[in-house]
Amino acid sequence: MKKEMLLEGFYIPETTLPFTIGLFTERRCESHWHHYWEILYQVEGETMIKVGSEEFHSREGEVTIIGAEEIHATAKLSRRHTILVMQFELSAVLPYIGTISEYQYLTHILFNSLEEKAHFRVTEENNQMQELLTKTFEEYEKKQIGYEIQIQAYLMQMFAFFIRNEYLKFPQIPEERRQALEKVKESILYVEKNFSKSITLEEVAEVSSISIYNFCRTFKKATDRTFVEYLNYIRLREAEKMLLTTNRSISDIAYDIGFSSVSYFNKMFKKKYGYPPFLYKKQNAGLNGQKRK
């Protein structure tokens, strides 16, 4: 299965600036997700935007911000519609959290204010956001010398706006937790890479060269979860994406993400999302209009 389902023509190239921007005028974009953030600026017309289970009616001048790994889709509501789509990795915006942003899944836990709802909207008239987005697009189109620095400056201004207006709240990571992260860093990365396999506590503790007892204490301090809780958290996030963006069966998804029992997968999924997988999939079919199994 192709893991990343991106807007056609949009991708983040392998450069020193993990960023891209462009105009999107297609009728719809099916449900998809990616590891980077996205900002949708409604330049013209009206669009229905769905993020997770929430739907928004986006009108001209409005801005929708979608966090990494949030499943989303769009469908135009007017004959003419144009969206300025900007995609970027968090590391391009906030260099001071570089030691954290390398963790694909842990970032969502550390920024717990974003974990359950990593998206928000700026709907009131705001010339500052519109100007910053327009300038960013122009800078990227011209690509004059130093454009990477200027784009990062604009992105930093946008995030300063989000934080000052309380759209986002980034927590301070205590030094004790940073130290714990450093001690189990390799184990966390190992779990995030191998979650679909059968991995044990002994195995991940060995990766960090720590005794099992000390590993459990340090891992909990670093992630605020036990090893099993963190492993299940990752697997369930992957399951949600597969449920909403593929037609794979429930049993196939359960085994593909590492669960050895479909009944246990169903139990854990319902505990986290409130619905069993088949019902969650049915209720969140969304804008893609596909008939799902």
Helix (H) or strand (E) holding 8: none
Q: Which helix H or strand E contains 111, and what residues bound it?
A: none
CA nearest 247: which of 289, 276, 275? Answer: 289
Flag whether pLDDT at 142 surpasses 50.
yes
- Residues 217-234: tens digit of each pLDDT: 999 998 889 999 999 999
At 70, the pLDDT band (50, 70, 90 cuts) reads confident
Instruction: Mark which of 106, 133, 164 sits at the end of a domain.
Output: 164
Q: Which residue, among 103, 140, 118, has the nearest Cα to 22 in the 3D structure?
A: 140
Backbone angles phi, psi at 41, to 5 degrees: -110, 115
Q: What is each CA distance from 42 to 63, 65, 109, 133, 154, in whole angstroms?
A: 6, 12, 30, 11, 18
The candidate with the shortest Cα–Cα distance to 212, out of 201, 222, 220, is: 201
Determine the pLDDT at residue 17. Answer: 72
Q: What is the pLDDT of residue 241?
A: 83
Predicted pLDDT of residue 93: 63
More confident residue, 18 or 187: 187
**What is the structure's pLDDT at 92?**
65
Question: Residue 64 belongs to what domain range?
Answer: 19-164
Claim to verify: residue 205 and residue 248 sit in the same structural domain? yes
Q: Which is more confidently placed, 102 or 153?
A: 153
Q: Is residue 169 part of a domain?
A: no
CATH assignment of the domain containing 238: 1.10.10.60
**CATH code assigned at 75:** 2.60.120.280
**180 and 159 share a domain?**
no
**Is residue 7 assigned to a domain?**
no
- Which of the four pLDDT bands, split at 50, 70 and 90, describes residue 288? very low
**Residue 13 falls inside a structural domain:** no
Q: How many structural domains compose the chain?
A: 2
What's the rounded Cα separation, in Å, for the pair 65 and 79? 24
| 164, 193, 225 - which closes a domain | 164
Q: What is the C-alpha separation between 117 and 109, in angstroms, rounded? A: 12
